[in-house]
């Protein structure tokens, strides 16, 4: 991928791979294979934008987000954040960089410690990074609760006293505590009721405007991703197959997998819906332990050619900043 201007790019990912080893044996364990969760990604996230990352379950979306933040150390590749290669940082250097990168987790029921009060949960990053303590920390926690739309006097309550939407707001407040530049939103609304999802999306958009945040927004729901994202990356079996502006992706999708995904999104117009062609993909997603040779999508592709079975297509710009990995394009 062409190097962007440094003032535009906040995160640059080059050749990112994350493999999880599969071992056999109880005492003498030996590696027999790898789960290729993320298999060579190249993309960049620009300052102030929201990059949406979509794909089927198990395609490597969450692993990508965690590998960027170094919660999973990548098997190979580089992740540049503000010009520094996070993969080469360790110890105190990496800890200092973590202040500028945060994550909102998928499950608000599992991501908050049930034994800690809300004040302790939101205030913990402030103590870890030596930002504030005592009265100053308490005032900052109350301010953060107000910012995310919660009562500032809830500081002494525990997570079980809140609904799912309120818990996710607490998770958002925790991620904002250290004034980050970049936040990975790992399916932040998928565990919530539909009525609450719009509220959290609107909150994230308001916070982005107010604090000049940059998001990597991971999701399943293509209509939600279109609403919140500036650009969208489509992922399949550990690889990004298409990346472009949200309007271009919905108007002129180029990769057959993207076309199949978009054909599954319901349109609230019965006349248009009736005329639209639904693309049904045959077969199941192959195992990431033994991905197919050549293009990973060739086993389910409706326009597969001989070259697709042998050669992995290059991820290239086909014009107007529209990136795609397909031999047929």
Helix axes 134-147, 118-128, angle to 10 degrees: 120
Residue 111 and residue 192 in contact, taking contact as beta carbons nearer than 8 Å: no
When the pLDDT of each residue in the chain is averaged and rounded to a whole number, the result is: 89
What is the radius of gyration, based on Cα positions, of the chain?
21
List for the chain the helix, strand, coil content (%; round to 5): 35, 25, 40
Higher-pLDDT residue of 279, 271: 279
Closest CA to 255 of 266, 264, 244, 265: 244
Angle at 101 between CA 229 and CA 185, to 5 degrees: 35
Rounded to whole angstroms, how far apart are CA atoms 54 and 225? Answer: 8
The pLDDT of residue 4 is above 70: no
The predicted pLDDT at position 273 comes to 65
Rounded to whole angstroms, how far apart are CA atoms 99 and 238? Answer: 28
The predicted pLDDT at position 2 comes to 45
The predicted pLDDT at position 307 comes to 92
Measured between its terminal Cα atoms, the distance across the chain in Å is 17
The pLDDT of residue 95 is above 50: yes
The pLDDT of residue 99 is above 80: yes
Q: Are strands 323-324 and 239-245 parallel, antiparallel or unpaired?
A: antiparallel
Rounded to whole angstroms, how far apart are CA atoms 298 and 306? Answer: 9
H/E stretch holding 218 reads strand 214-219
3-state secondary structure of 233: strand
Distances (CA, A) of 246 to 65, 109, 217: 20, 31, 13
Higher-pLDDT residue of 223, 169: 169
Angle at 5 between CA 4 and CA 10, to 5 degrees: 80
List alpha helices for the chain, DSSP H: 61-68, 91-98, 118-128, 134-147, 164-176, 194-211, 222-228, 246-251, 256-263, 270-275, 306-310
Distances (CA, A) of 164 to 51, 53, 170, 190, 218: 25, 23, 10, 11, 19
> pLDDT per residue over 22-72, tens digit each?
998 888 888 888 999 999 999 999 999 999 999 888 889 999 999 999 999
- pTM score, two decimals? 0.90
The pLDDT of residue 247 is above 70: yes
Angle at 122 between CA 82 and CA 183, to 5 degrees: 30
Instruction: Name the token pair of 37.
Output: 């969760």
Residue 303 and residue 75 in contact, taking contact as beta carbons nearer than 8 Å: no
pLDDT band at 212; cut points 50, 70, 90: very high
DSSP 282: P
The predicted pLDDT at position 195 comes to 84
The predicted pLDDT at position 159 comes to 92
3-state secondary structure of 236: strand
Question: Who's near 209: CB < 8 A, 6+ residues apart?
Answer: none
Rounded to whole angstroms, how far apart are CA atoms 256 and 262? Answer: 10
Task: Return the CATH architecture of domain 9-100+180-324.
Answer: 3-Layer(aba) Sandwich (3.40)
Q: Taking the alpha carbons of 228, 234, 236, 240 in that order, is the dihedral positive or negative? A: negative
208-229: average pLDDT: 91
> pLDDT per residue over 120-173, tens digit each?
999 999 988 888 888 898 999 999 999 999 999 999 999 999 998 999 999 999
The pLDDT of residue 324 is above 50: yes
228-250: average pLDDT: 93
> pLDDT per residue over 277-301, tens digit each?
778 888 888 889 999 999 999 999 9
């Amino acid at each position: 991928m062409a190097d962007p201007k440094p003032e535009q790019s906040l995160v640059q990912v080059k050749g990112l791979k994350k493999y999880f080893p599969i071992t056999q044996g109880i005492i003498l364990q030996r590696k027999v294979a790898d789960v290729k969760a993320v298999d060579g990604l190249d993309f960049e996230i620009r300052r102030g934008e929201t990059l949406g990352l979509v794909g089927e379950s198990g395609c490597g979306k969450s692993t990508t987000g965690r590998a960027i933040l170094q919660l999973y150390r990548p098997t190979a590749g580089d992740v540049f954040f503000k010009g520094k290669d996070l993969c080469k940082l360790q110890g105190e250097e990496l800890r200092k960089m973590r202040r500028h990168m945060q994550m909102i987790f998928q499950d608000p029921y599992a991501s908050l410690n049930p034994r800690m009060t809300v004040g302790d949960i939101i205030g913990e990053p402030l103590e870890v990074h030596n930002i504030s303590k005592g009265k100053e920390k308490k005032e900052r926690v109350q301010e953060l609760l107000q910012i995310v739309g919660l009562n500032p006097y809830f500081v002494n309550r525990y997570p079980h006293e809140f609904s799912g939407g309120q818990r996710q707001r607490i998770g958002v407040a925790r991620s904002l505590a250290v004034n980050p530049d970049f936040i990975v939103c790992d399916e932040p609304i998928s565990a919530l009721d539909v009525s609450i999802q719009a509220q959290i999306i609107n909150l994230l958009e308001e916070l982005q405007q107010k604090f000049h945040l940059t998001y990597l927004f991971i999701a399943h729901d293509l209509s939600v991703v279109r609403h919140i994202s500036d650009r969208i990356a489509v992922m399949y079996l550990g690889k990004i197959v298409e990346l472009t502006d949200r309007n271009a992706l919905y108007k002129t999708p180029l990769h057959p997998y993207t076309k199949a995904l978009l054909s599954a999104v319901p349109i609230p117009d019965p006349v248009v819906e009736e005329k639209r062609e639904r693309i049904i993909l045959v077969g199941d997603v192959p195992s990431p332990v033994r991905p197919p040779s050549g293009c990973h999508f060739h086993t389910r592709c409706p326009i597969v050619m001989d070259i697709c079975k042998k050669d992995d297509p290059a991820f290239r710009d086909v014009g107007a900043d529209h990136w795609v990995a397909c031999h047929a394009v």
